[in-house]
Amino acid sequence: MAELVVFHHVQGLTPGIESFAESLREAGHVVHAPDLFEGWRFDSLEAGLAYVQQIGFAEVIARGVAAVQELPQELVYAGFSLGVLPAQLLAQTRSGARGALLMYACAPVAEFGDRWPEGVPVQIHAMNNDAEFIGADLEAARELVAQAREAELFLYPGSEHLFADSSLSDYDEAAAASLLERALEFARTAG
């Protein structure tokens, strides 16, 4: 089984993110879900983004990096939207990474290094009409898939951004179930 770190989105460590982490645990994986917002949760993307702009994106990433310092290096990094930033950075730069699950976002590979690391599998999940993803994130995802040896991009029908968070109005049960099934298989093979 794998050991994973799950980084939450801009609305914080919601019950839906905790439920996703618990589903991974129930499958036998060791899962860490650090709270990068120190207890703050937000009712909207806009409120969460205002908080992130106040503390800075660099601070969010630094908190993610700090959260794994005492953990083994052989981790799968999973990030939801904003959480993709520390997940992708660590998957690309921290020795021993076992894989990356990037949900709702993808940064250009060049943001964190020259190339995607050899032997680090990655899955990217988003909705095909998500205004937050279509554009730069989709382009970055396609670039990553073209570059990485073991990479998959899954686009689900719909336009919701945080579609796999069961505690939010964006929740899409069918798409979330498919994402979870794929994530569980990914974690099983990465372990």
Q: Is the pLDDT of residue 4 over 90?
A: yes
Supply the Cα-derived Rg of the chain in whole angstroms: 15
| Average pLDDT over the chain, rounded to an integer | 96
Enter the pTM of the model: 0.96
Per residue in 64-75, pLDDT (tens digit) is 999 999 999 999
Q: Which residue has the higher pLDDT, 1 or 131?
A: 131
Measure CA 132 to chain center.
Answer: 15
Two structure tokens written together for 30? 């060791």
pLDDT at 176: 98
Q: Say how far apart CA 107 and CA 143 lie, in whole Å.
A: 10
Q: What share of the chain is helix, strand, coil (3-state, %, to 5)?
A: 40, 15, 40
Per residue in 41-56, pLDDT (tens digit) is 999 889 999 999 999 9
Q: Spell out the alpha helix ranges (H) of 68-149.
A: 84-93, 136-147
Non-local (6+) Cβ contacts of 58 within 8 A are: none
Hey, which CATH number is domain 3-190, 1.20.58.1880, 3.40.50.1820, 3.40.50.1000, 3.40.50.300?
3.40.50.1820
Confidence of residue 1 (pLDDT cuts 50, 70, 90): confident
Side chain identity at residue 23, one-letter code: S
Side chain identity at residue 5, one-letter code: V
Share above pLDDT 70 across residues of the chain, in percent, rounded to a whole number? 99
pLDDT at 125: 98
Per residue in 101-143, pLDDT (tens digit) is 999 999 999 999 989 999 999 999 999 999 999 999 999 999 9
Q: Where are the domains of the chain?
A: 3-190
- Residue range 2-30: average pLDDT? 97
Q: Spell out the alpha helix ranges (H) of the chain.
A: 15-26, 45-55, 57-67, 84-93, 136-147, 173-190
Side chain identity at residue 29, one-letter code: H
pLDDT at 21: 98
Q: Say how far apart CA 87 and CA 67 lie, in whole Å.
A: 11
Furthest-apart CA pair in the chain: how many Å? Answer: 39
pLDDT at 75: 98
**Residue 178 near residue 185, CB atoms below 8 Å:** no
Place of tokens 């964006």: 170
